[in-house]
Amino acid sequence: MDSITRIKEFIKSNFPDWEKISFSEFQENIDFRDDLSELYKINHEEIILISYTNISITGTDRPKPQLRVFLDEYKKPFHFAKEHQLRYYLFSIFTKDDNMARGLNNFNPKEYIISIETNLDTEGSRRDLRSIYDYANEKLGKRKFLKCSRTNYKADINQASFIYIGTPSNPDKTTFENFINIFDSRPYQNSTNNVSKQMVNELKISSEYIKYTDIITAAKTKPFLLLAGISGTGKSRIVREFAFKSCPKYLQDKAGTTPGNYCMIEVKPNWHDSTELLGYYSRLGKGGYQFTKFVKFLVKAKMFPTVPFFVCLDEMNLAPVEQYFAEILSILETRKHPKNEETGEVDMTMVKTEPIIDTLYFRELSEIPHTRNAQTGELFSSNLTDREIYLKLFNIKTESDINEEVGKRTDLTTEGLTLPDNVVIIGTVNMDDTTHQFSRKVIDRAMTIEMNGGNLRNMFGGSKNLEYLSGEEQQKWQNAFARRYVTADEVLEAHSDVAAELVEKLPSQLEEINKALKGTPFEVSYRVLNELTIMVGVMLDEGKELDDAITQSVNNILLMKILPRIEGDAEMFALSREYKSKVDVPYDNRLEWLKELAPDIKEISSDITTSENDEAEELTEKDKGHQQIAKEKIQEMIDRLNNQELTRFWP
């Protein structure tokens, strides 16, 4: 008996009062198989949609074969449920031979329905279930129900549940019935990945989201941003706003002035190495490692991994960034999703980097004063957990809001301090005679956003943005900054249905840009392609159409990664007659060519301006000035070149 038949018979036998409903009651024709999806009227009133799928087995020669479900068939019924606002369930059950479930020794998978609760708008064509079953094998025990979330199992599905149903000869309907009655499954509303369109309608803060779309998208692409512009445009204030909006109650200060997920670092002109930022080892006085505010803040961020933490490096270029920030610039490039030690599979729920602070200095915190080994003379030490080190660094006695599993880790004394994935580093930048210029190394590793001018009338009422929100609103802003991708390959895997188009279109876009920049030091390479692909993936997760996502992403990458690197005189941008003939273009100037290559985009994305929410449309009109267009910026650079014989991105 296959999975689909097993679940159908279980429902038919145990819930005879459930009335099967024809799809024709909603619409005449459907474009998906009605044998894999069924409508039921439960409790004599509500109609729900249930889809069934079999679990496939691959890699049967492995110690643990892969367990997979294929999702393409279920995207259309998912959209049907979404259109008619029905609860939607995707069920499967393991019905294969026992030897195909190798490694699942602690529970019988044939006695549990697995409910795959994921937003199919953002899914690829398949999902691996092996690690979810491994997690259940470890945690289920004798329980009849197990709810898995992204924070506690190693798989890239938003949520999943194991529901006990017993055997055909001895069924158990209670757990399944309670699950249906209690769990309001509308994954098209609850996905943590589907942010943009939902933000306008769900957050009820349309103005703020529209205004900051570029910054949020950039932060989800890479956690290091530069906010550049003239003094007084509110660059550092924006960072505080994000912290206020996403700060949970247990991290809020009583005065309401400084959220616990916010850290302001005032850069000084005399910073010429990383000691002011990362600390140093001292042998004076009590000696030991001198932990800085920045390092302590990173340790704090590790304790609350579901909350975004914001570091604001104010006036970042008052000192040479390449000197005091070199280690962090390098660490940013080491981010990766590690492999799970038990399964050998990539763990998409975690991001690791090379250590910023070595384990040695955290182990010193574990040493017990005045107690030495009689033979070696070394201080005895206790095995401090990450939570205990956090309490020591902040000189506090207890912290009840740290997740128990997180607090028990010993990463700091075994791996050192790595850059937490929930940290966003934002540098504010003024480009004038009092500051240092950025090298291409820094710009290559950052997402640059220019902030100049804006509607002065929008200042009024801005103080309300520096207030804490309700718990529900906080959660939505926390989800808005959740990152999913580190590499382009992860985007291709998550969006396998359009992977071939991405592989064809994205490199060709950058290759055309490189043709215009050939012979200059401004050509782009794999890092820009990687981040372009990630940005497209972020936008696809948000529900954008592929072409719109590519167009908007290329526009953003030009503004954030490519144009900030460009500067020079008329000779730098002149195209030789030979090169013009070779590539067959009519332009005399590289910037003119680059302007032609920049995408044509609407001022505000159509998926926002066509919102049914009248208030959102009104706010959108007010905030139109916040969206930048690459073509306009390039024209500004061309005008500067014509007037001054020199040009650059910065004013």
Same domain, yes or no: 647 and 503: yes
Same domain, yes or no: 465 and 555: no
Whether 610 has a pLDDT exceeding 50, the answer reads no
Same domain, yes or no: 445 and 512: no
Separation between Cα atoms, residue 476 and residue 223, nearest integer Å: 19
Q: Answer whether residue 398 is part of any domain.
A: no
User: What are 67's two structure tokens?
Assistant: 């367990």
Separation between Cα atoms, residue 326 and residue 313, nearest integer Å: 14
The mean pLDDT of 441-458, rounded to a whole number, is 79
Contact 235, 430 (CB under 8 A): no
Q: Answer whether residue 595 is part of any domain.
A: yes
Task: Return the half-sphere exposure (C-beta side, CA atoms, 13 A cut-off) of residue 585.
Answer: 20
Whether 607 has a pLDDT exceeding 50, the answer reads no
Same domain, yes or no: 100 and 248: no
Separation between Cα atoms, residue 203 and residue 221, nearest integer Å: 21
Which region holds residue 204: left if phi is over 0, alpha if psi is between -120 and 50, else beta? left
User: What are 291's two structure tokens?
Assistant: 């932990």
| Selection from 477, 422, 476, 443 nearest residue 223 by Cα | 422
Separation between Cα atoms, residue 582 and residue 548, nearest integer Å: 32
Separation between Cα atoms, residue 277 and residue 292, nearest integer Å: 6
The domain tally of the chain equals 3
DSSP secondary structure string for all residues of 95-110: -S-GGGGTT--SS-GG
Contact 381, 369 (CB under 8 A): no
Q: Answer whether residue 405 is part of any domain.
A: no
Flag the least confident range among 44-53, 501-510, 600-609.
600-609
pLDDT digits 0-9 by tens, 575-600: 999 999 999 999 999 999 999 999 99
- Where helices occur in 315-439 by DSSP H, the ranges are 321-324, 326-332, 359-364, 386-393, 404-407, 411-414
For residue 100, the model assigns a pLDDT of 67
Residue 349 one-letter amino acid:
T
Which helix (H) or strand (E) segment holds residue 618: the answer is helix 614-622
Cα–Cα–Cα angle for 39, 44, 50, rounded to 5 degrees: 20
> 533 Cβ partners below 8 Å, 6+ apart?
488, 491, 492, 502, 506
Same domain, yes or no: 462 and 530: no
Banded pLDDT at 531 (limits 50, 70, 90):
very high
For residue 621, the model assigns a pLDDT of 44
| Selection from 541, 481, 484, 538 nearest residue 246 by Cα | 481
Asked whether the CA dihedral 602, 606, 607, 613 is positive or negative, the reply is positive
DSSP secondary structure string for all residues of 541-584: HTT--HHHHHHHHHHHHIIIIIGGG-EEEHHHHBPPHHHHHHHT
Query: Of the residues 135, 167, 190, which one is the last residue of a structural domain?
Result: 190
Q: Answer whether residue 364 is part of any domain.
A: no
Same domain, yes or no: 216 and 228: no
Same domain, yes or no: 458 and 552: no
Contact 53, 90 (CB under 8 A): yes
H and E: helices and strands count for the chain: 28, 21
Q: Answer whether residue 65 is part of any domain.
A: yes
Flag the least confident range among 104-108, 296-300, 430-434, 580-584.
104-108
Same domain, yes or no: 563 and 623: yes
CATH number of the structural domain spanning residue 425: 3.40.50.300
What is the SS3 assignment for 595?
A: helix
For residue 66, the model assigns a pLDDT of 77
Separation between Cα atoms, residue 171 and residue 169, nearest integer Å: 6
Banded pLDDT at 155 (limits 50, 70, 90):
very low
Q: Answer whether residue 368 is part of any domain.
A: no
Backbone angles phi, psi at 224, to 5 degrees: -135, 115
**Helix, strand, coil: what percent of the chain each, to 5?**
45, 15, 40
Same domain, yes or no: 207 and 232: no
Separation between Cα atoms, residue 212 and residue 205, nearest integer Å: 11
| Selection from 421, 424, 393, 389 nearest residue 407 by Cα | 389
- Where helices occur in 173-278 by DSSP H, the ranges are 174-182, 187-190, 196-198, 206-221, 235-246, 275-278
Cα–Cα–Cα angle for 366, 370, 372, rounded to 5 degrees: 80
Q: Answer whether residue 152 is part of any domain.
A: yes
For residue 223, the model assigns a pLDDT of 97
For residue 161, the model assigns a pLDDT of 87
For residue 403, the model assigns a pLDDT of 85
Query: Of the residues 135, 170, 190, which one is the last residue of a structural domain?
Result: 190
**Number of Cβ atoms within 10 Å of the Cβ of 519:** 11
| Selection from 328, 342, 488, 346 nearest residue 420 by Cα | 328
Query: Per DSSP, what are the bridge partners of residue 424?
Result: 310
Q: Burial, 464: exposed, middle or buried (Cβ in 10 Å; 0-12, 13-18, 19+)? A: exposed
Separation between Cα atoms, residue 148 and residue 375, nearest integer Å: 50
Whether 280 has a pLDDT exceeding 90, the answer reads yes
For residue 387, the model assigns a pLDDT of 92
pLDDT digits 0-9 by tens, 315-332: 999 999 999 999 999 999
The mean pLDDT of 188-212, rounded to a whole number, is 47
Separation between Cα atoms, residue 180 and residue 174, nearest integer Å: 10
119 vs 75, 81, 163, 203, 648, CA distance in Å?
9, 12, 20, 18, 43
Same domain, yes or no: 494 and 464: no
| Selection from 181, 175, 150 nearest residue 163 by Cα | 175
Contact 311, 265 (CB under 8 A): yes
Q: For the chain, what's the residue count?
A: 651
The mean pLDDT of 346-357, rounded to a whole number, is 88
Q: Report CA Rg, the chain.
A: 27
Same domain, yes or no: 494 and 430: no
pTM of the full structure: 0.68
Contact 412, 299 (CB under 8 A): yes
> 346 Cβ partners below 8 Å, 6+ apart?
337, 338, 339, 340
How do beta strands 280-282 and 288-290 pair? antiparallel
Domain that holds residue 127: 3-190
For residue 29, the model assigns a pLDDT of 87
For residue 154, the model assigns a pLDDT of 47
Same domain, yes or no: 352 and 274: yes
Whether 197 has a pLDDT exceeding 50, the answer reads no
Q: Answer whether residue 410 is part of any domain.
A: no
Query: Of the residues 190, 211, 236, which one is the last residue of a structural domain?
Result: 190
Whether 136 has a pLDDT exceeding 90, the answer reads no
- Looking at per-residue pLDDT, the higher value among 348 and 195 belongs to 348
Query: Per DSSP, what are the bridge partners of residue 93?
Result: 113
Beta strands in 271-422 (DSSP E): 280-282, 288-290, 309-314, 367-372, 379-381
